[in-house]
Amino acid sequence: MVNVPRLVVAAPSSGSGKTTVAAGLMAAFAERGLDVSPHKVGPDYIDPGYHALAVSRSARSARSTGSGGGGSRPGRNLDAYLCGPDRIAPLFLHGAAGCDLALVEGVMGLFDGAAGQGELASTAHVAKLLRAPVVLVVDASSQSRSVAALVHGFASWDPEVRVAGVILNKVGSDRHEVMLREALEGSGVPVFGVLRRTDAVRAPSRHLGLVPVAERHADAVDSVAALAAQVREGCDLDGLLALARSAPPLSGPIWDPVAEVRAEALGNVCGTGPVPAGRPVVAVAGGPAFTFSYAEHSELLTAAGAQVVPFDPLRDERLPDGTRGVVIGGGFPEVYAPELSANERLREEVARLAASGAPIAAECAGLLYLARSLDGQPMCGVLAAEARMSDRLTLGYREAVAVSDTALAVAGTRVRGHEFHRTTITPDAGSEPAWGIVHPERRIEGFAQGRVHASYLHVHWAAVPDAATRFVGGCVPYVSRAG
């Protein structure tokens, strides 16, 4: 049994202020000297970036002294659709190991889950799997006494979900606060905080949500500082910490990337031969254009025998020395298409690496980067396809099956993934797809070309650790040649 003080920060609906409150709480508790472990329900990549910033020692140092330094816990996702309900508590315990407090930001409304699948992947579902008390963030801007009916409904809807407190957000005035508190006096749900309406803590947004931290780090530090101050002044931090400590112990197992890849190797499912001698360098794209990744992917690659080295396609003209494989996750290459295109030397090196037979795994933004062009700007040219921005948002969970053997999966492998983009890609005739989407609709998707696997589908490797063992097992010696 493991004792982890924990809270889930939820809301009746999107737009209530979950991210504002969650990041503010994380920063405020971290400023008290607590080791805070940040988590996010669902597949979202952007909010965890703000969470990691909120709990980082370097950000706290910068806020207080103007200097940097220190480490941080990464923001981690808890998605019961992508990873399966049985992995939620083990992944949580892995990420929260040794912490003083774990804070979990919910997704959408408290009871909103995967479409057509009941509570699956909802905040309520994850809260039950973690046996965690829930604090409900309520947008009180357009109500007074009705807040009691809303809170009562959410607190009583599912007896297995412990709605243990409320934070009133966007409160207009002292009089408004009095009315709200009076209405909630008989609800049995205590008020742990009241936050006033303010524009000081808003983060800029664009076509896929908030602008990621990596693109506005200095401004984001200031925003998080403002969040921490607002929460510190408006919330009962001692009461919330006591509530978190009331959560019961969780039983194991604890997710272990080394155990996961060893289990796959023992099962002989990799099918790519032994891992090369030494630790092959796997270059993982990062920087402002490629901010979408799950922390567990690098952990699994490392456990499978790789030396994971980050690189920034916006600034680095060469791949890391000795690169034998490349992972390019999601992000916003469409925002940086001219800069990515201008880095011709790196584009050519990525193309040579692909031609050499080394494995390349690309998701969404990585798919666009490997295309011939993006919005008319030349890209790597690894894939015979053209990519463009679109007015149409593609969003949702998917079930898929591998159409052929790729760097990540053997033919027939079934996965669950998530799509989130406003771009389209047009392949040349005869391109081999990576996936066959089987739910919610049937279609083919992505590219399987040699040892290149490129797709719009985001897959969480914790659910398919063979992806890491197969990828590292497919690494081959490669020596970069200057162009």
Residue 270 is a catalytic residue: no
Q: Are 436 and 428 in contact (CB under 8 A)?
A: no
Concatenating the DSSP letter of every residue in 179-245 gives: HHHHHHTTSS--EEEEEE--STTPPPEETTEEPPGGGSHHHHHHHHHHHHHHHHHHB-HHHHHHHHH
First to last CA, the chain: 57
Q: Distance between CA atoms of 437 and 417, rounded to whole angstroms?
A: 10
Contact between residue 477 and residue 357 where contact means Cβ atoms under 8 Å apart:
no
With CA atoms as reference, report the closest residue to 349 among 375, 377, 372, 316.
Answer: 316
**Cα–Cα distance, 300 to 323 (Å, whole number):** 17
Q: For residue 363, what are the β-bridge partners?
A: 455
CA distance 417 to 434: 13
Q: Which residues contact 396 (CB under 8 A, 6 or more apart)?
A: 115, 418, 419, 440
From the list 83, 235, 270, 364, the catalytic residue is 364
Q: In Å, how far are 61, 62, 246, 410 from 65, measured between CA atoms?
A: 6, 5, 35, 52
Task: Decide: helix, strand or coil at residue 435.
Answer: strand
- Which residues does the annotation mark as catalytic? 364
